[in-house]
Chains A and B, each alone.
Chain A
Amino acid sequence: MVELGQLEKHHAAFEKRNTQFFVASVDGLEDSKEVQKSFPHLQVVSDPNHKLVDAANVGHPNAGPHGENVAAPTTFILDRNGIVRWMFRPNYVTDRLSAQDLLSQYDRVFPTN
């Protein structure tokens, strides 16, 4: 959850851009509550029944610590109408967008003059 730590640390920069943040996994409610306590500025989504993961088709079969299906790291930027404006899936799970990378990409999608 190093990625979430970076996003939490830079939450002010995203709030300045009037952005809401959702971080989703297939963790159950109890685990999600613990994650929420650690990252209070990110809205944690609990998807243990894979409704969101399946709708977006971001499942990663057998990739969990016990061989269960988990979510593949994927990032979406959406506008105020719920339209997808940008998406990113790294080639390897160890590659993630840094907070700076995400901010730069966000500013490209939603430039401010």
Chain B
Amino acid sequence: MSHSETIPATRYPGRRNLILGICFALVGFAMAFAQLTYFAVLKTPWYMPIFATVGTLCVLTALWQRRSIGRWIAFVLVAALTGFEWFAMLVMMATPVYAGPVEVGQPFPAFATMESDGSPFTQSHFKSDKNSILIFFRGRW
């Protein structure tokens, strides 16, 4: 006597894609945070929006496999995160193109400001028995 078994259809198709998509979106962010704060590697973390884009595609696939309110919310959130990360990387983090007046081979322009102890600081400080490195940084924040 033979019997046949019916393999039930998956109740939650695309669940793996949904979880994978959310993980991709979050892991890129976590890696960038670790890179900048823990490992102190000062390079733009392009992998962050790339991972988020992959995550968005995974969540979109999950949504296509089974529509639900939860998956729609997940898609909107992950897509918004992805969009924000690309905007931040390409627009917010971009520096202006340098247009002078400082030129290699020319004296540094005249200025008068102060050192952290309040004493004057001018271009004459660059004329000494030492070479100088001047670095502009964004600030204590």
Contacts and interface: CB of A to CB of B under 8 A. Distances in A.
A84 B105 contact: yes
Given A25-B138, A94-B44, A55 B98 contact: no
B93 interface: yes
Question: Among the interface residues A19, A63, A78, A106, which one has the most CB atoms of the partner chain B within 10 A?
Answer: A78
Interface string A72-86: 111111111111111
Interface in B9-56: 36-37, 40, 42-45
Contact of A80 (B106, B123, B128, B139): B128
Q: How large is the interface on A (under 10, 10 to 19, 20 to 34, 35 or more residues)?
A: 35 or more
A45 B96 contact: no
B108 A78 contact: yes
B137 A76 contact: no
* Interface of A, helix, strand, loop or mixed by DSSP: mixed
Interface residues of B, number: 54
A25 B98 contact: no
Contacts of B36: 2, 94
B76 to A, nearest CB: 27
Contacts of B139: 25-27, 31, 64, 70-71
A71 B117 CA distance: 20
Question: Among the interface residues A6, A22, A34, A87, which one has the most CB atoms of the partner chain B within 10 A?
Answer: A22
Interface in B89-127: 89, 93-118, 121, 123-127
Contact of B109 (A14, A32, A33, A56): A56
A78 B106 CA distance: 10
A51 B111 contact: yes
B5 to A, nearest CB: 56
A7 B134 CA distance: 12
A65 B139 CA distance: 10
19 contacts: A5-B40, A19-B131, A25-B139, A29-B116, A34-B140, A45-B115, A49-B113, A52-B111, A56-B102, A56-B108, A57-B102, A70-B139, A71-B139, A92-B94, A93-B94, A93-B95, A94-B89, A94-B93, A97-B42
Interface of A: 1-7, 14, 17-27, 29, 31-36, 43-47, 49, 51-58, 60-61, 63-65, 70-87, 89-98, 102, 106, 110
